[in-house]
Amino acid sequence: MAERQGLIIVNTGNGKGKTTAALGLGMRAWGQGLKVLVVQFIKGNWKCGELQAAEKMGPDFVIRQMGQGFVKKSSGDAIDDHRSAAQEALQAAKTEIMSGKWDMVILDEINYAVNFGLVSLDTVLELIEMKPSSVHIVLTGREANPAIIDRADLVTEMKEIKHQLHKGIKAQKGIEF
């Protein structure tokens, strides 16, 4: 069997499904015997369905919620807490990527973290460049930086056509979380 060539995969765009697609890819990889780590840069303390699923999948599919929740540019002093959490998540991701323990690492909402200045683009690019050749890295979030897109092997843009929230239908278990 040929040696695995680790890919850089980006899920971006304004439509729903970036994280969901990454988790589906992670599940596919796990089903093929790969070890998958998901580091969530924004989400934190949410009781999402994917957390419950990951617990049942065992130690070879792990989700780490390391964020402080969604951040807005007008977050004021709280932005420092978000920045600290995101930088800690990036350091943890780097350590785990280099550990040899994981075949795929999903950096959920990292593009969002870059856009809001929570982590530097240069640090993310360095991480991409230094990854072991066999490790797949998946980066999710809106407005992926062109420099990240340039380094990617596969980029998918989710485009919103229609969303139930515009009809007043609230987020539902199993769909949004």
Domains and CATH numbers, the chain: 8-158 (3.40.50.300)
Residue partners of 128: CB distance under 8 A and separation at least 6: 8, 137, 148, 151
How far is 97 from 20, CA to CA, in rounded Å? Answer: 21
Q: State the pLDDT at residue 139.
A: 98
* Crossing angle of helices 18-31 and 49-57, rounded to 10°: 10
pLDDT by residue for the chain (177 residues), tens only, comes to: 567 899 999 999 999 999 999 999 999 999 999 999 999 999 877 778 999 999 999 999 999 999 987 777 655 668 889 999 999 999 999 999 999 999 999 999 999 999 999 999 999 999 999 999 999 999 999 999 999 999 999 999 999 999 998 899 998 988 888
Note the pLDDT of residue 75.
Answer: 59
Beta bridge partners of 38: 63, 106
pLDDT given at position 113:
96
**What integer pLDDT is reported at residue 69 of this predicted model?**
79
pLDDT of residue 77: 66
Predicted local confidence at residue 85, as pLDDT:
95
Return the CA Rg of the chain. Answer: 16
Strand 154-157 relative to strand 8-12, pairing: parallel
Amino acid at 38: V
pTM equals 0.93
